[in-house]
């Protein structure tokens, strides 16, 4: 719980920003790998008890899709999404601002939800890296400070500012005019 969900950071080049994005991709990739292993272990251990149940088959299929690199089918936002938003499946109990559950299905569900959410972040960061590369190819880059609004590890907005060194250099540039009186 120590990460900052919303932050503003300054980068002094597009390269610095790309390096920060690469670090984020490595970090999120490691988390997805760990959670995928956790989900796989859970499914293997639970197969004997729940292998014939519909929820187990669905999660197993979703996990196979994750392993093969395909995007699993997202949960519908229709009636099921509305039901989940209010109180989730019948096993979930709303207590103030949090949902509680005691069954095994819930454990697999939250791990899968986390993997899905992190994979979405990875996709967004990849698209942002592509956009930054295009900006750099267009000539944007030198003499600019990039102030980024970062939400949940993903830059959402960039403010482009000229570096202060250039501004100061412009302000203190020596400018003179020489006037010579003409005598006749």
- pLDDT digit string (tens) for the chain, length 184 residues: 456 689 999 998 888 999 999 999 999 999 999 998 888 888 777 776 666 666 666 666 666 666 666 555 555 444 344 334 433 355 888 999 999 988 878 888 888 889 999 999 999 999 999 999 998 888 876 788 999 999 998 999 999 998 765 554 454 455 556 656 776 6
Structural domain includes residue 65:
yes
67 domain-assigned: yes
6 strand-pairing partners: 151
Domain interval for residue 159: 6-171
Rounded to two decimals, the pTM is 0.69
Q: Report the alpha-carbon distance of residue 39 to residue 56 in Å, rounded.
A: 11
Domain for residue 180, yes or no?
A: no
- Cβ count within 10 A of residue 51: 11
Residue showing tokens 């109990």: 93
Q: For residue 179, is it within any domain?
A: no
pLDDT at residue 142, rounded to an integer: 73
- Please check whether residue 182 lies inside any domain of the structure: no
Instruction: Report whether 144 contacts 159 (CB < 8 A).
Output: no
Q: 161 lies in a domain?
A: yes
Of 111, 112, 131, the residue nearest 123 (C-alpha): 131
Q: Is residue 181 part of a domain?
A: no
Q: Residue 54: left (phi > 0), alpha (psi -120 to 50), or beta?
A: alpha
**How many domains are there within the chain?**
1
Alpha-carbon distance 127 to 121, whole Å?
10
Kindly state whether residue 177 falls inside one of the protein's structural domains: no
> What is the end-to-end Cα distance of the chain in Å, rounded?
84
33 vs 35: CA distance, rounded Å: 6
């Amino acid at each position: 719980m120590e990460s900052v969900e919303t932050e503003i950071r300054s980068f002094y080049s597009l390269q610095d920003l790309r390096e920060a994005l690469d670090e984020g991709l490595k970090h999120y990739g490691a988390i997805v790998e760990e959670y995928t292993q956790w989900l796989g272990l859970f499914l293997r251990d639970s197969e004997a008890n729940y292998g014939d149940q519909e929820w187990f088959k669905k999660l197993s299929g979703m996990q196979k899709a994750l392993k093969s690199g395909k995007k699993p089918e997202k949960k519908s936002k229709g009636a099921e999404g509305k039901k989940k938003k209010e109180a989730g499946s019948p096993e979930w109990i709303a207590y103030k601002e949090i949902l509680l559950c005691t069954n095994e299905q819930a454990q697999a569900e939250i791990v899968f939800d986390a993997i899905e959410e992190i994979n979405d972040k990875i996709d967004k960061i990849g698209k942002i890296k592509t956009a930054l590369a295009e900006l750099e190819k267009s000539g944007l880059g030198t003499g600019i400070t990039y102030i980024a609004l970062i939400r949940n590890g993903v830059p959402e907005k960039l403010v482009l500012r000229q570096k202060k060194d250039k501004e100061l250099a412009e302000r203190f540039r020596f400018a003179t005019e020489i006037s010579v009186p003409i005598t006749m």
